[in-house]
Amino acid sequence: MPDENETQRQLTRLRSLLTEKGGSWRAGETSMSALSDAMFKRRLGARPTDGRTLADIERQAAARSAALLAERRAPGTPAAYDLRNVGGKNFITQIKDQGACGSCVAFGVCAAMEGTLRVQENDPNLSIDLSEAHLFYCHGRAQGRNCDNGWIPDEALQACQNAGIVDDACYPYTAGDQDCTGRCSGWQQRLHKVTAFHTVSATADMKTWLSTKGPLPACFVVYADFRHYRSGVYRHVSGEQLGGHCVSIVGYNDSDQCWICKNSWGTGWGEDGFFKIGYGECAIDTWQVCAVEGVTKPEEHHEEEGVWQRNRLVTALWCNGQPRNAWIYADGLGWRRITPDSDVTFLNLLYQSAGAKAARRRVNFFEERDTVKEIYVL
C-alpha cells in the first residue's frame, strides 16, 4: 500500500489541478485511491489482442475525434437517456466488485447481457444475475485468459453466443482462478446465450442502441487520476497510463457531453459504483464497443438442426460413473456431450476425443443440440 501521506498529497495536487483547469469532476478518497499502482492494475483487464498497444488505441481514437463530433447528434434519439431511470424504471442490475483480478471484461459483458434481457422482456424487475465466474474462469480460461492477462469483449461475447453461461447462483464468483470447478449440478440446463452481437463504430449508433435495445460493453484507457473519481464527468487531467478497462455503458447525456457507465469496483468508488465520462475521452467510444443483439434464457433454447464444427481443439474431457456420460470441451464453443446412442458409438467417439486431446490435434465434429454425433481427427 502507498504511504498515506503521499496519497493525500497526490489527492491535494489533483484537486488543485482540477480547479486550475476547470475540471468537470470531483476527486476524493475512494476504495481504489489507497491502492498501490500494482494492486490497482489488477483491476484493469482489457487487453488488445490485435497487435495494437494502448497508446495506438488512443492515437487512433484522437484521430477520429473530429468525425465523432459530427456524429454525436443522433436524429430521433432523446438528448439524454439513462437505463437506470426510464420513466421511473431501472433496467440495470446491481453493482458488483471484481476484486483483485483482471476479469473486468466478464463483468462488463454480463452487465450488458443482463440489461439487454430486461429491456428485451420489458421487465425492469426480471431476476437475472449471470455468472462472471463461468464466463471468465471457464470460457476465458479455455482461451488462455486469467487474472493477470485479462480478456477482450468480442471474444467473451463469442463464447456467450457459442457456449452460453449459467446464472451466478450456479457458479458464484470469487477473485482468483477458480479453475472452472464447482459448478452446480445440472449446469448444462441453466445456460443463457447471446443470439448475436456486433461492434458499433458510430456515436450516433451507440445512442440509438442505448435508447432502444440496452447497454453496451466497452473498453477505455485508464489513467492514475481515474482511481480518485467521486462524481461528475470524468476527463483525464493527470497521471500516467495504467491499463485498459471494460465497463458497461448504460446511458448518455448530450447536455453534459458524456456517457454513463456501470463499473465493477463495488459501490465504494465513484457515484455508488457508476461514473460519467466525456464523449471521446480515453477511447471510451471507439475501443471494443459491442452491441448484444439478444439474449436467450435456458427454457428458450430451441432445437437446432445438426451442424459441423470445424478445426476445433479438444481441451478437456469430463465423465462420471454413469453409463455413456462423457463430455468434451471444444475451444471457442464450450462443453459438448458425446452421444449416448450406443456403446460402440460412444466408446469410439470418446477414444478419438481423448487421442486428439493428448496429441493436441484439431478435429471436425458433427453436433445436434450440443451433442457430438460424429468426429474426425485432422
Task: Name the 3-class secondary structure at 25.
Answer: strand
466497452: which residue's cell?
A: 218
453493482: which residue's cell?
A: 95
Residue 319 identity: C
* Cβ partners under 8 Å of residue 198, min gap 6: 290, 291, 293
Of the candidates 227, 237, 151, 135, the residue with the CA atom closest to the CA atom of residue 183: 135
User: How far is it, in rounded angstroms, from Cα 307 to Cα 370?
Assistant: 10
Q: Is 245 a catalytic residue?
A: yes
Of the candidates 16, 17, 24, the residue with the CA atom closest to the CA atom of residue 235: 24
| Catalytic hit among 160, 245, 261, 282 | 245
| Catalytic hit among 104, 180, 282, 290 | 104
User: How far is it, in rounded angstroms, from Cα 44 to Cα 53?
Assistant: 15
C-alpha angle 211-264-276 in degrees, rounded to nearest 5: 50
Determine contact, residues 76/204, Cβ cutoff 8 Å.
no
C-alpha angle 256-260-261 in degrees, rounded to nearest 5: 155
Of the candidates 269, 281, 274, 277, the residue with the CA atom closest to the CA atom of residue 234: 277
Q: Is 104 a catalytic residue?
A: yes
Task: Name the 3-class secondary structure at 63.
Answer: helix
Task: Name the 3-class secondary structure at 347.
Answer: helix
C-alpha cell at 344: 460402440
User: How far is it, in rounded angstroms, from Cα 147 to Cα 176?
Assistant: 7
Question: What are the CA-CA distances from residue 23 to residues 30, 34, 276, 280, 283 (Å)?
Answer: 18, 22, 13, 16, 19
C-alpha cell at 14: 489533483
* Cβ partners under 8 Å of residue 345, min gap 6: 339
| Catalytic hit among 219, 261, 263, 290 | 263
Backbone angles phi, psi at 341, to 5 degrees: -60, -40
Catalytic center residues: 104, 245, 263
